[in-house]
Structure 1
Amino acid sequence: MRELRKDYVLDRFVLVPNNTSSSTSAAERGGDEKRDGVDDDDKCPYCPGNESMTSPALLALVVKDGMLQRLSDSEDSIIDDWSVRVFESKNPVVTTTAAASYSDKPLYSEPAYGYHQVVVATPDHKQSLPQMSVEQWGNVLVVIQDRVRWLYTQKSVTYVSIYVNSGAGAGAQSPHPHLNIVTFSSIPPAIELEAEGSHRFMNENGSCPACNMISVESSGPRQVLATDSFLAFCPWAPTYPYEFWIYPKRHITSFSKITQKEINDLALMMRATLGGMSKALKDAPFNMVFHLSPEKKNSRQIHWHIEVYPQLTTWSGLERGFGVYVNNVKPEKAAEILGSACRKELAGLVGIT
């Protein structure tokens, strides 16, 4: 159980235990299912055959005769032969059973109310996210879209966050490929800041800042890869070495409204960029986040996108204490290296030698 505490002055929130527990496992920091240090396949709760080690599946995507079936576990049966599996985390960072306790400023806190679901991306324990097939990525994206739509119908869900911790250096305790979906009753500060900046830019310039950005970065020195519907590029001022973003080319604020054709194209983009990054950076750990617009009663929208942060360095006091970031890899050079690797990956995927 946790509570959401707000900084004395800043719009910064921290999830802290509301009991005497002092555990700081990677599972509790990043929301991954706690694995107790067990790495063999037989003990992995994400592996087929070990489904009873997790909460019941809220959604089990089963591929049968080329068709996708959306099933769920029941008291009498557990779905097997699944392609993607979703369940409530047993070590949630937020919960729908949070006690309704509040405190006033300057020591403000509120219940850490929300849903925390784990999306197991593949039944294959040894397959990493950068290695997954394009088809499997398509299945994962369909499931994420399903979850986003459902979660936004629930009470007290103001924002749905989706993120990946891949590798111990990125906060993951389980090596089995998976994603986390966590909801909040308020908009996270990073999204609020981005929405405010976007709103201000649109008022001053009459256009979407992301659409302008896409126009500038297309075919420029920071482009990493382009498909029919998406553009991947290293941002002008990246926080992390080799950081890159994936944007839909058309202006759209809601991931839940992208078409099946766009999902298929995004699956190709995800596989090519993550696969290329993995080879170029020698399987470096990374975080990946979906920046989506809130879909409830909010006029400040953002052009939705995905951001990928390879974890190659450790922040210093300058970054941690002042929010000034030192990046020793110029984004143009990063894009050159990533672009070469990602284009080779894409060529292999589409059968071009």
Structure 2
Amino acid sequence: MSEIRYDLLHNEYIVIAPERLHRPIPQQCADTFSIQKCPFCPGNEELTPQEIFSIKNNSTWQTRVIPNLYKALQIETPFISNRDGLNEMWGGYGAHEIVIDTPKHTVKIQNMSQEEIFWWLYTLQQRYRDLRNDKKLISLQIFKNHGRNAGATQPHPHTQIIALPLMTKEQLYLFEHCQRYFHNHGRSLHEDIVHFESNSQRNLFESEHFFTYTPYASSFAFETAIIAKNMGFGECSKIQLQELAEHIRSLFYALSKELGDFPFNLLFYLPPLNENFENSSFFHEVNNIFRFYIRITPRIYTIAGFELATRSMINPVVPEMAAQLLRRWYETGS
């Protein structure tokens, strides 16, 4: 039986519809991208823009960061307002970077070691810290697309970083929602979610600083989230990043056992980098109202008309069932 659930974290309504579980899943197209021509593989560094950052090991690099060759924004563009009648536009100032997660062309995140995932996280953290120093940058989004259904166009494992000189409507809405919750309850929304969900059927994995679960009103089949309990992403120690790497490794192991090589989007939800007129009402209390979290959305079903028209999702997999299936792989020691 279908249910309409309220997504407390995103302040949205989600339809849970198990009846739609048995719809055919579109077949994935095979990737035929040649390793010899892959600009992200070792030995092909001259095919990419000059690197911004890298982690080196004895034989080659572990991670590389480069400007996106097809960048949506660039630091060189002035952030200047221009009006055209009632319309207004700004120069496309910002940052658009590619993090090459690993030198291995065909590896999937579920096959990466905890140490490899740690260096990926450490690289993301270093770029987050560096971009935060540019006071004109206000918000930052880290995201990873895997598979054609998730929007990936390059099969070599990579992550994108986009930093903007403003906050989007969805970002503002999220933080204002978290602020209202804190003022009404005296606790952060994320703190209450962790407290309640740790005793629910949706709990997957809990450690000292992080909590992994299937959200009560999951938008996507087998959607999961990892919430930081008490620190910001930029402030995580290396030990805490190792702990987060273990959450990611265990989760993707379990997901891959259930779903195979599935398409997904991995999204970081992070606080504003710097203060501006849009976020001044909550910027100085962001440490009280918000905890950074990572959302993993498998894209095994397509988004259609209802979702586009209403911005509410239809999810055919009950989150409690997804958690039950995934927990089996945690319990085997992953």
TM-score clears 0.5: yes
Q: 3-state DSSP class of the match of 1:148? A: helix
User: 2:122 and 2:237 mapped to 1: Cα distance?
Assistant: 10
| Structure 2 unaligned residues grouped into runs of 5+ | 1-30, 276-282
Q: CA deviation at 1:300?
A: 5.4
Residue 223 in 1 paired to residue 214 in 2? no
Aligned-residue RMSD, C-alpha: 1.7
1:174-204 deviations in Å (ceiling 9; x for gaps): 1111100110011232221111011001111
Cα deviation for residue 60 of structure 1 reads 1.5
TM-score by length of 1: 0.79
Any gaps of 5 or more consecutive residues in structure 1? 1-36, 65-79, 349-353
CA distance in 2, matches of 1:315, 1:269: 28
Is 2:43 the partner of 1:49? yes
User: Of 39, 45, 67, which aligns to 1:88?
Assistant: 67
The number of aligned residues is 293
Shift of 1:219: 3.4
Equivalent residue runs for 1:244-283 within 5 Å: 244-249=224-229, 251-252=230-231, 254-283=232-261
2-side partners of 1:55 and 1:256: how far apart? 26
Letter in 2 for 1:92: K
Query: Which residue is equivalent to 1:333?
Result: 321
Identity %: 27
Residues 1:132 and 2:112 aligned together: yes
Q: Say which of 290, 307, 321 aligns to 2:295.
A: 307
Looking at structure 2, the residues matched to 218 and 168 of structure 1 have their Cα atoms a distance apart, in angstroms, of: 34
Between the aligned partners of 2:331 and 2:60, the Cα distance in structure 1 is 33
Letter in 1 for 2:212: A
> SS in structure 2 opposite 1:108?
strand
CA shift, 1:131, in A, is 1.3
- Structure 1 segments (4+ residues) deviating >4 Å: none
The 2-side partners of 1:322 and 1:182 are apart by 26
Query: Aligned residue for 1:6?
Result: none
Give the 3-state SS of the residue equivalent to 1:164 in structure 2. strand
User: Per-residue displacement from partner, 1:132-163 (whole Å, max 9, x unpaired)?
Assistant: 11001111111111110100111421111100
1:61 alignment counterpart: 55
| Residues 255-308 of structure 1: per-residue CA shift (max 9 Å, x gap) | 100111110100111111112112211111000010011132323522111001
2: distance between equivalents of 1:54 and 1:235?
A: 38
Other structure's SS at 2:123 match: helix
Matches of 1:343 and 1:55, distance apart in 2:
44
Matched-pair contact (CA < 8 Å) for 2:81–2:91: yes
C-alpha separation between the residues in 2 aligned to 1:270 and 1:264? 10
Greater RCO, CA 8 A, separation 6+: 2
2:85 & 2:218 partners in 1: Cα distance? 35
SS at match of 2:66: strand
Q: Is the 8 A contact 1:38 1:44 kept in 2?
A: no
Aligned 8 A contact 1:117 1:180 in 2: yes
Distance in 1, matches of 2:331 and 2:85, equals 52
d(CA) in 2 for partners of 1:279 and 1:171? 22
**Preserved CA contact (<8 Å) 1:128 1:176:** no
